[in-house]
C-alpha cells in the first residue's frame, strides 16, 4: 500500500541524521555501563532499586523513541503502542500484593506452626 503523502502533509519519512543515531548509541553504552556498575559496586536497598529502574527506563525510552522512530510517529500510533502495556503495571501491583500474602501463608503453614 504505497500511499503517497496525504494532504495533511508532514508524513513521517523516517530519515534522520546519522549523528543522532550515533549519539544515542553512545548514550546507550554509557547507561549500560552505569547499570553494570550498580552491580559491580554492590549498591543495595533503595539506592540499588532506583538506579536500576532509572537506567532501565532511560535505555528503554531511548530505544523506543529514537531507534524505533516512535517520537516521529503520529499520536494515533504512539498511544496504540504505549497505553495498553500499562495494564501490565496493574497486573504487577496485584501480583505483588498476592505474593506477599502467599509468602505469609507459607511462613505460617510451612514452618510447622500450622
Partner 1 sequence: MGQTSTATAPAKPTAMGQMASDWASDEEVFKGVSWGKSMMWIFLLSDTFVFGTFLTGYMTMRMSSTVAWPNASEVFSLNIAGTDLPLILIAIMTFVLISSSGTMAMAVNMGYQRRAKKAAMFMAGTAVLGAMFVGMQAFEWTKLIHEGVRPWENPFGAYQFGSAFFMITGFHGLHVSIGVLYLGIVARKVWRGDYEKKGDYQIVEITGLYWHFVDLVWVFIFAFFYLW
**Interaction site with partner 1 (CB under 8 A):** 1-3, 5-8, 11-16, 18, 21-22, 24-25, 28-29, 32, 35-36, 38-40, 42, 48, 52-53, 55-56, 59-60, 63-64, 66-69, 73-77, 79-81, 84-85, 88, 91-92, 95-96, 98-100, 102-103, 106-107, 110-111
Residue 55: count other Cβ atoms within 10 Å of its Cβ.
19
- Whole-number minimum distance, CB 97 to partner 1, in Å? 10
Indicate the residue among 46 and 69 with the shorter CB distance to partner 1. 69
What is the three-class DSSP state of 113?
coil
Are 52 and 73 in contact by the 8 Å Cβ rule? The answer is: no
- Whole-number minimum distance, CB 100 to partner 1, in Å? 7
CA quadruple 48, 68, 93, 100: dihedral sign:
negative
Phi and psi based region of residue 4 (left: phi greater than 0; alpha: psi -120 to 50; beta: remaining): beta
- Whole-number minimum distance, CB 102 to partner 1, in Å? 4
Amino acid at each position: 500500500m504505497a500511499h503517497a503523502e496525504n494532504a495533511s502533509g508532514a508524513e513521517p519519512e523516517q530519515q534522520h541524521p546519522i549523528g543522532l543515531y550515533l549519539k544515542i548509541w553512545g548514550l546507550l553504552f554509557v547507561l549500560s555501563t552505569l547499570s553494570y556498575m550498580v552491580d559491580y559496586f554492590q549498591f543495595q536497598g533503595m539506592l540499588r532499586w532506583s538506579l536500576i529502574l532509572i537506567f532501565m527506563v532511560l535505555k528503554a525510552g531511548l530505544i523506543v523513541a529514537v531507534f524505533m522512530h516512535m517520537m516521529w510517529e503520529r499520536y494515533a500510533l504512539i498511544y496504540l503502542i504505549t497505553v495498553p502495556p500499562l495494564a501490565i503495571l496493574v497486573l504487577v501491583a496485584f501480583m505483588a500484593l498476592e505474593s506477599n500474602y502467599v509468602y505469609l501463608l507459607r511462613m505460617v503453614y510451612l514452618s510447622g506452626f500450622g
